[in-house]
C-alpha cells in the first residue's frame, strides 16, 4: 500500500497532524471494501441475465452496500462522478476538484486504479476527514457505461426509463468513471 506520499504531504503541512495520519489507512480500507463486493454481485447477475438484468442490482445494491458499510464504520460513504447517472451522485466542490485532478493524473500516466486523495478540511468550524478513491472502468463496466451506440438496446431502454438525465455513458476501459468518496466529522 502506498501511504507515504499523502503522509508526507500532511506531515510537511501540519506537524500537529503527524501522529494522526493513521486515519488514512482506515479510510483506505473502508473505501476499498465496497467496490469488490459490488463487482462480485454484478458479475453474478450479468452472467445470469445480461447487463440489462443487472441494472436494478447496481441501482439498489450499491446504495444498500454503502449504507451498510456506513453504519458499520461511522464513515459517510457514497459514489460520485463528473458525468453522473444517479441524479444524486453529483460531486461537491471538493470532490469535483479531486475528480478533475484524478483525470489529470491519469492522463499524465498514473495508474487510475491507485489514484486516491486524503485531506482534512474544515466544515462549519469542525475538522472533517475526507478521502476519495478513483473507480476506473474495466471491460464489464462498458455493458452499462460504454458508448451509447454500443449498448444493448435492452440496456439503453431501461436506462432511459430509470435515468432520463443519464450522463454516465461513453466510457472506454481504464477511464475514471467516478470515485468512492467517504468522510467523517471529527
Binding site for ligand HEC (CB under 6 A): 39, 42, 51, 54-55, 58-59, 62-63, 79, 81, 84-86, 89, 135, 137-138, 140-141, 143-145, 168, 177-178
What is the closest distance, in whole angstroms, from the C-beta atom of residue 10 to ligand HEC in the complex? 26
In degrees rounded to 5, what are phi and psi of residue 175? -85, 160
Mapping DSSP onto H, E and C, the string for 79-101 reads EECCCCCCCCCCCCHHHHHHHHH
Cα-Cα-Cα-Cα torsion 173, 135, 103, 128, nearest 10 degrees, comes to 180
Closest CB 63 distance from ligand HEC, rounded Å = 6
Residue 179, Cβ density class (10 Å: 0-12 exposed, 13-18 middle, ≥19 buried): buried
Shorter beta-carbon distance to ligand HEC: residue 18 or 67 = 67
Summary count for the chain: helices (H), strands (E): 5, 4
What is the closest distance, in whole angstroms, from the C-beta atom of residue 8 to ligand HEC in the complex? 29
Contact 133, 118 (CB under 8 A): no
Nearest CB to ligand HEC, comparing residues 53 and 128: 53
By C-beta, is 14 or 100 nearer to ligand HEC? 100
Closest CB 49 distance from ligand HEC, rounded Å: 9
Supply the minimum distance, in Å, between the C-beta of residue 125 and ligand HEC. 30
What cell does 183 get? 468522510
**Which CB atom, from 89 or from 118, has the smaller least distance to ligand HEC?**
89
User: How far apart are the C-alpha atoms of 56 and 61, rounded to whole Å?
Assistant: 8
- For ligand HEC, the closer of residues 3 and 156 by Cβ is 156
Amino acid at each position: 500500500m502506498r501511504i507515504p506520499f499523502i503522509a508526507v504531504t500532511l506531515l510537511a503541512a501540519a506537524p500537529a497532524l503527524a501522529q494522526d495520519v493513521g486515519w488514512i489507512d482506515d479510510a483506505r480500507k473502508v473505501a476499498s471494501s465496497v467496490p469488490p463486493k459490488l463487482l462480485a454481485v454484478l458479475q453474478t447477475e450479468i452472467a445470469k441475465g445480461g447487463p440489462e438484468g443487472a441494472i436494478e442490482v447496481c441501482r439498489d445494491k450499491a446504495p444498500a452496500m454503502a449504507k451498510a458499510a456506513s453504519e458499520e464504520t461511522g464513515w459517510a460513504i457514497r459514489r460520485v462522478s463528473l458525468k453522473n447517472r444517479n441524479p444524486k451522485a453529483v460531486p461537491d466542490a471538493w470532490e469535483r476538484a479531486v475528480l478533475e485532478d484524478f483525470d489529470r493524473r491519469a492522463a499524465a500516466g498514473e495508474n487510475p486504479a491507485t489514484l486516491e486523495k486524503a485531506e482534512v478540511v474544515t466544515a462549519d468550524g469542525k475538522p472533517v476527514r475526507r478521502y476519495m478513491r478513483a473507480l476506473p472502468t474495466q471491460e464489464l463496466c462498458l455493458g452499462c457505461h460504454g458508448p451509447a451506440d454500443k449498448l444493448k438496446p435492452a440496456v439503453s431502454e431501461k436506462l432511459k426509463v430509470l435515468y432520463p438525465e443519464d450522463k454516465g455513458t461513453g466510457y472506454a476501459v481504464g477511464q475514471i468513471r467516478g470515485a468512492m468518496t467517504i468522510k467523517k466529522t471529527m
